[in-house]
Structure 1
Amino acid sequence: MLIDLTDAEPATSGGKAAALARLLRAGMPVPPGFVVPSTAYQRTDEGLPAELIDEIAQALPRIGDGHLAVRSSATSEDTTHATAAGQHDTFLGVRGPDQVADAVRRCWLSLWSARAVEYRRRRGDTRSPSVAVLVQRLVDADVAGVLFTGDDTRIEASWGLGASVVSGHVTPDSWTLTGGEITRRSLGTKKTRVDRTVTREVARADRERFCLTDDELTRLAQLGRQAADLLGGPQDVEWAIAGSRIWLLQSRPVTSALPPAPTAGGDGGEALTGTPGSPGRATGPVRVVRGPADFARVRPGDVLVCRTTDPAWTPLFGVVAAVVTEIGGLLSHAAIVAREQGLPAVLAVRDATTALPDGVPVEVDGSSGRVVPAHRPY
C-alpha cells in the first residue's frame, strides 16, 4: 500500500508529496521518504490497521532509523489556488512504527480540525476532502527557513528547524536577491530555536548575527529557480541546511503576490511600523488577543493585535478586518493565509500589544507596514 516518495502522484499522494517526487526524480536534494496514500485514509479515532503498521515498520529502515517528520499531504493542498498552509498537522522527531502510526492517524484527524474546516469553507471548497501522509527522514537543521521565487527571490531563515519560521514564532533574518545579487538584508530577532521537539533560547551572539552566509543565499536562490523552472511557476520552498548540505523540504506554487520589500526610513508621529505581510488597508478597533481564551472577545471588523498567530487562529481571519503581530515573518503560514484571504497584515511591530490600546480605532496598511490611529491621514 505504501508509495515510495519518488513515485508519488497528486491523485494518491497529495500536492506536497507529488511536488517533492518531481524534485527527487530531477536529482534535487530531497530527504528520502514514503507516503501513506489517500486511499488508506479513514476518518476514525481508532488506530491504524495492524497490516499497515507492519508495512510501515518494514519501510522505515529504507529511509533511516533516526528521527522522522510526519506531514499531511492533502489532495486539496499545495495547489495553484490554495496552499492550506499550516491547516493540517505536522509531527517532528517521531521514532519507530508505533509513533509513526499514531502521527499518521493524527494527520488524518487534522483534516477535520476547526481551522481546516474553516479554511475550506472560506474558499468555498465543498469537495469531500482526503489526505495522504508523508513520512520523511528529519533533517537536523543548523538553520532553516522559506524562500519565495519570482522577479526577486525572498528568503527568511532562523536557527534550528524551520518550524520557528513557518509558525511565526520568531522574527527571522530576511533577504532579497535580484538577478542573483543580494539587494536587501534585515537582521531578525531569532530569540528561540527548535531542535527536533525541543525549543530553547538562542545565544545572544547568534541573535545578533545573520544565520546565512552570502554563499548559502546564492545557492538557495539557485535551487529555488531550478524548482520554479521544473514545476512551472514561482514557488514557495521550505528548506534546511545541515552541515554544508541544503535540503528541500517542500515546494508549492506561490498563490498570492508578496508586498514590496520595506524601504529604509523613519516614520514620525504616532505611526507604528513593521513588516508588510499582506497588502491592503483596513480600519477597525484594536482587539488584543493573547491566546485562545480571548477568541470570544473578537467581533467582526476588529483589528487582531497579538504576539504571534499559529494555524489554530485561522478561524479569526474570517472575522477580523486586519492582523498586526509583534513577531513573525513575511513567509510564515499565517501571512500566507492572510494574503490568500485578502486580509491586510503587518508583522513584527515591536510592542504592538501594549502600544495599541484595546478598543482604539486604527488604520492598518499591509502594503507599507504602517499602523496609525484612524483619525490620522496617511
Structure 2
Amino acid sequence: MMIHPLSELSRAHLSTAGGKGANLGELTRLGLSVPAGFVVSAEAYAEHARAWGLAERVAEHLASARWEAAAAEVAEIFARGALSPALEGAVREAYRALGAPKVAVRSSATAEDLAEASFAGQHDTFLDVEGEEAVLVALRRCWASLWTPRALRYRAARGIEHLGVDIAVVVQRMVPADFAGVLFTVDPVAQRADRMLLEVTPGLGEAVVSGQATGDVYRVRREPLAIEDRDRREADRPAPSEALVLALCRVGLQLEAHFGCPQDVEFAFAGDAVHLLQSRPITTLGAAEIEPLPPLPKLTRLQEKMSSGNDDRFPVAPKPLDQWGFRMFIPALLRTLRFLGAEVDAAEERAMLDQVWREMLVMPQPRPTLRLLGLPGKVAASLRRDWMGWWEGEAFGRIQEACAPVDLRALDDAALLGRADRIAAMTADVLGERFQGIVGMLASVALQVPVTAAVGKKRAAVLMADLFSGLHTRTSEVNLALHQLARRAASAGPEVSGAIREGRPEALADTEGGRAFLGEVEAFLDAHGHRETTGQYLSAPTWRQDPAPVWGLLRGLIDVTEPPSEEAGLARHQAALEEVTQALRFVPGLPGAFRRTLERLRERTVFRERSHYDLTRPISAMQAVIAEIARRLHERGHLPNPEDVFYLTEAEVRAWLGGEAPPRGEVEALVRRRRATYAVVNGRWQRRAHPPDAAGTSGSELRGVGASSGVVRGKARIVREEREFARLKPGEILVCPYTNPAWTSLFGIAAGLVTNVGGAASHGAIVAREYGIPAVLGAAGATERIVDGQEILVDGTEGRVKLLGQGGEVGGVSGVGGVGGVGGAARG
C-alpha cells in the first residue's frame, strides 16, 4: 500500500512509515491527541526512486563525496519525474478524506528518530499547505530533502549508507495552536535526570524547533511534579496556564515509560487541549555526568576591560580542540603585553594555554613594570612605521607560503602534524608583530583630548566616530564583490535569479546559465572562502566549508540595485575634521598635527581590517588539517564520527594519531561526556554574554554604544545567525546578536544596525560608519526585547533604541532634528 492512515500504524511500521510516522501511529494507538493524517509510505518513495534511476545517477557523486552535486542531481530528478497515476490518485483521495484542510507535510526517513541518531532538522517540513496540487509539490520536496547536502553529510558522519535509507511523508491537519514548543522529559542542558525542560512560545512551535525563536523556558521537577522556575523572555507575552504545562509533563512521563527512554516531545496547546506532534528519543544525553568545570574567575577591572571586546568575535563557547587554535593567538597577545611593558605570571600563562573548558575568554592579570614609561615612545614609533608595507611585502608572503595548498592525504601522520605546527608557529609570530602595529591605535586616546577641548565632552563622542568614517577596507571590497555577484545573478535570467530568490541554489545546476553562475560563485569562494562565520574558531566552518551564508547574502542582495557607497562616510569624516580643526585653529601648529595623527590612525584601522582578513587563511588551513586527521581517526576506528574530533584535546589528537587511542567503548564515553559538558559550558557562556535582565534597558528604550551617528526609523528585522541572512530586506533595520566581517555585507541594504554586544571599535562599527548607517552596538537584550517586524528608532548618536508601536510616538529621543525627519529611513 502507498497510503496508510496514522491510526493503522505503530512502532512496528518503521520501514513503512519512517521514524516520525511510526511514532505518531504509536501515539495515536495510545489514545493520545494526535492531529489526524496519513503517511505516504517509504515504498512509494523507493518505487519512484527506482523508476527514475536515482541510484545510478548519484553513484559517482556519492563515491567522491560531492554532496552539493549529488543534491543538485536529486533535486532535478524529483522535480521533473512523473508521479505514477496510482500514487497521485491515492494522495488526492486521502487529502480529500481529511476534508482538504491546511496540513503539515513532514519528512519521515526510515533511519529517523532512533535512539542513536535523531536526524532532527535534517529533512524538510512544510506548514500551512493547502490544496491537492500544493500537497503533491510538498511531497516531492520532502522526498528531495533526503538528499540535501546537510542530510548527506549527517549520514556520512554517522556511517549510514545513503542508498539504504528511504523516506516516508506524513500529512497531518494543522493544529490552530495558541502555544507550541518542545518538552524534554530529562533536562539535556543541565544533565539533570530529576527534572524536565520545556520551551514554549505563542503560535506554532516550528520556530522553536528550528532555532529561529526563543520561547519561555520552564524547569519542572519530576517527583513530585511541580514547576521549579520559569524564564520569561518578554514580560507581557502570553503564556499557557500552569495546569496545562503540568498536564503536558504528565503525558511526557507516560511517553517515557511507554518508549523506555527519555523523550523529546513536540506539542501544541489549543484551548485546554494538549496535541502531540512528535515524540522521539533524546539522543544528546549520553552519560549523565559532566567533566569538572573550574569556577568562574573574579576579574579585576583591567581584566574586564581587556575581555570586554570578545562577545562579538566569539558568540559561542569554544570546543576543546579550539584550544589548539588559541595556541596560535595567546602567545602573540602575551608578547604584546610584554612589549607594552607589563609582565605576566608564568603559571597564569601555562593555565591559559592548557585550559580546555572556557566560560569566558580572560586575559591573565598583567603586572606593570618600569618599561611602561616607554609606552608613549613605542606608540609614536608604531605610528611612524609603514605597517601595510610590511604586511604586503613580508607577512602576507609568509602566510601564503605556510598555507599553500598541498595534498594532505599524501602526507604521513608526522608530516600532517608538522604542517599544523608550521602554520601555528608562523601565525603566532606574524600575529605578535601585527599586534605591535595595532599598538599605535592607542594614540586615539590622546586624540580625544583636543577633540574634547574643541567641541565638549558630549559632542566629542559623536565626532570621534565620524572622524573614522569613510574608510576603504578589505571587508568593504569583499562586500562590493558580493554585491556585484548579486547584480550578475539578477541580470542572468529567471532560471538564475528565480533559484536564488526562492532559496534553491541547488537548482542552478539544471541550466546552462545556472551552471555558469555557479562557476562565478566558485571563483568568489576561491578568493574569499576563508572568511569566518560564527567566530575565529577551528570548529567554526568558513564560507568555503559551508556556503549557506553566502547564498543567503545573495538572496538578500539580488534586488538591491545600488552598491554600498562610502561617500556618506567620507562626507561625515570631512565635516567632523573641519569642525575640529576650525576650533583648534587658534593654537599654532595644532590643526596640522591633529590631521597627521588622525590620518595615521585611519591607516592603522585599514591595516587592522586587512590583516584580520588575511589571518583567517591560516585558520582555514588548520581546519583542513584537522578534517584530514578526523578522517584518519574515524577510518582507523578510533573516532565514532569525524565531527567528534572537536571534543578532543590537541594532546589526545596527537596521541591517538600515533596509535595510542583508548578502546572504542572508552572513546564513545569520552565523547558523550564532552558533548554534555559543552552543552553546560555554552549555556553559561550565553547567559553571561546575554543576561536576561540586562542593564541599560527600561520600558520602551534600550541603551548601548553609539557606534555610527545618525537617526533612522524603520522596521526591525531579527537575524540571529548567518543562515538567516536572506530574511533582511532593503530598508529594514538589522537587529542581531553580534556582527563580524561576514555580517557586514548586509550593511549595504540595512537602514540601521542594533546588536546585543559590540562596541565602537568593532568590525561592525567600522563598516557601519563606512556605509553611513546609524548603529547602536552593545544594546544588551536587543534580540529579545525587540519584536521581529516592530517599528523602532535607532539613534546612533546618543546610543539609544526607541521601541515603537504602529504609529507610535518618537518622544524623548534626541538628535532627531537635522537628519531629514523621522518619517522614513533617514540617515544622518
Per the normalisation by structure 1, the TM-score is 0.71
For 1:205-220, what aligned pairs fall within 5 Å after superposition? Answer: 208-209=236-237, 211-220=239-248
Quick check: 1:297 aligned with 2:514?
no
Question: Is 1:87 matched up with 2:122?
Answer: yes
Partners of 1:15 and 1:174 in 2: how far apart?
27
Unaligned ranges ≥5, structure 1: 190-206, 323-337, 359-378
Task: Establish whether residue 13 from structure 1 lines up as the match of residue 17 from structure 2.
Answer: yes
Match of 2:143 among 95, 108, 113: 108
Measure how far apart 1:345 and its partner are: 4.5
Find out whether 1:156 has 2:191 as its counterpart. Answer: no
The reply to whether residue 62 of structure 1 matches residue 97 of structure 2 is yes
Q: Which residue of 1 aligns with 2:212?
A: 169
How far off its partner does 1:25 sit? 0.5
* Higher radius of gyration, 1 or 2: 2
Rounded to whole Å, the distance in 1 between the matches of 2:210 and 2:90 is: 32
* Contact 1:47/1:101, CA 8 A, preserved across alignment: no
Instruction: Give the conservation status (yes or no) of the 8 Å contact 1:301–1:321.
Output: no
Contact 2:319 2:646 in 1 (8 A): no
Which residue does the alignment assign to 2:229?
184
**Relative to 1, partners in 2 of residues 1:267 and 1:82: Cα closer, same or farther, differing over 3 Å?**
farther
Q: 1:320 deviation in Å?
A: 10
Say if 1:64 and 1:137, in contact at 8 Å, map to a contact too. no
Aligned-pair CA distance for 1:20 = 1.1
Q: Equivalent residue for 1:249?
A: 277
State how far apart, in whole Å, the 2-side matches of 1:215 and 1:233 are: 25
Matched, 1:98 2:102: no
RMSD: 4.1
Higher strand proportion (structure 1 or 2): 1
Q: Is the 8 A contact 1:147 1:237 kept in 2?
A: yes
- Deviations, residues 14-47 of structure 1 (Å, cap 9, x unaligned): 1111111111111011111111111111343224
Is residue 4 of structure 1 aligned with residue 2 of structure 2? Answer: no
Q: Percent identity?
A: 37
The change in CA–CA distance for 1:279 and 1:11 in structure 2 (over 3 A counts) is farther
Q: Is the 8 A contact 2:3 2:90 kept in 1?
A: yes
Offset of 1:250 from its aligned partner?
0.3
After superposition, the Cα gap between the structure-2 partners of 1:69 and 1:320, relative to the gap in structure 1 and judged at 3 Å, is farther
Question: What is the rounded CA distance, in whole Å, between the counterparts of 2:109 and 2:135 in structure 1?
Answer: 17
What is the alpha-carbon distance in structure 2 between the residues aligned to residue 124 and residue 301 of structure 1? 26
Whether the aligned pair in 1 keeps the contact of 2:17 and 2:39 (CA below 8 Å) is: yes
User: Could you say which residue in structure 2 is the equivalent of 1:194?
Assistant: none
Q: Write out per-residue CA displacement over residues 309-338 of structure 1, whole angstroms, 9 at most, x where no aligned residue.
A: x9x78xx9959959xxxxxxxxxxxxxxx9
Answer whether contact 2:152 2:162 (CA < 8 A) is retained: no
Structure number with the higher helix fraction is: 2
2:249 alignment counterpart: 221
Q: What residue number does 1:195 align with?
A: none
- TM superposition shift of 1:91: 0.5
1:67-107 deviation digits (Å, cap 9, x = unpaired)? 00000000011000111111100001111221111111100
Deviation for aligned residue 1:226: 1.1
TM-score, normalising length: structure 2: 0.34
Residues 345 and 52 (structure 1 numbering): CA distance in 2 closer, same or farther, change over 3 Å? Answer: farther
Matched with 2:521 is: none
For 2:682 and 2:529, the matched residues in 1 are separated by 18
User: By how many angstroms is 1:279 displaced?
Assistant: 10
The number of equivalent residue pairs is 312
Is 1:131 equivalent to 2:167 in the alignment? Answer: yes
Task: Determine which of 112, 116, 123 is the counterpart of 1:77.
Answer: 112
Other-structure match for 1:146: 182
Q: 1:18 to 1:296 in 2, by over 3 A?
A: farther
Q: How far has the Cα of 1:3 moved from its partner?
A: 0.9
CA distance, structure 1, for counterparts of residue 31 and residue 298 of structure 2: 48
Task: Give a deviation string over 1:278-320, Cα, whole Å, max 9, x none.
Answer: 996554579xxx9999975249943649xxxx9x78xx99599
1:114 counterpart letter in structure 2: P
Tell me which residue corresponds to 1:332: none
Letter in 1 for 2:3: L
Distance 1:246-1:279 versus aligned 2 partners, 3 A rule = farther
| Deviation string, structure 1 residues 94-147 (Cα, Å, up to 9, x no partner) | 112211111111000011101100111111212522100011111121110000
Shift of 1:48: 2.5
> What SS is found at the alignment partner of 2:161?
coil
User: In 2 relative to 1, CA 176–280 (structure 1 residues): closer, same or farther, beyond 3 Å?
Assistant: farther
Q: Is the 8 A contact 2:202 2:238 kept in 1?
A: no
Counterpart position of 1:375? none
Provide the C-alpha distance between the structure 2 equivalents of 1:279 and 1:142, rounded to a whole number of angstroms.
37
Which protein has greater RCO, CA pairs closer than 8 Å, 6+ apart? 1
Query: Residue 29 of structure 1: which of 14, 33, 48 is its match?
Result: 33
Matches of 2:82 and 2:174, distance apart in 1: 23
Instruction: Give the whole-Å Cα distance in 2 for the aligned partners of 1:146 and 1:295.
Output: 36
Shift of 1:256: 1.2
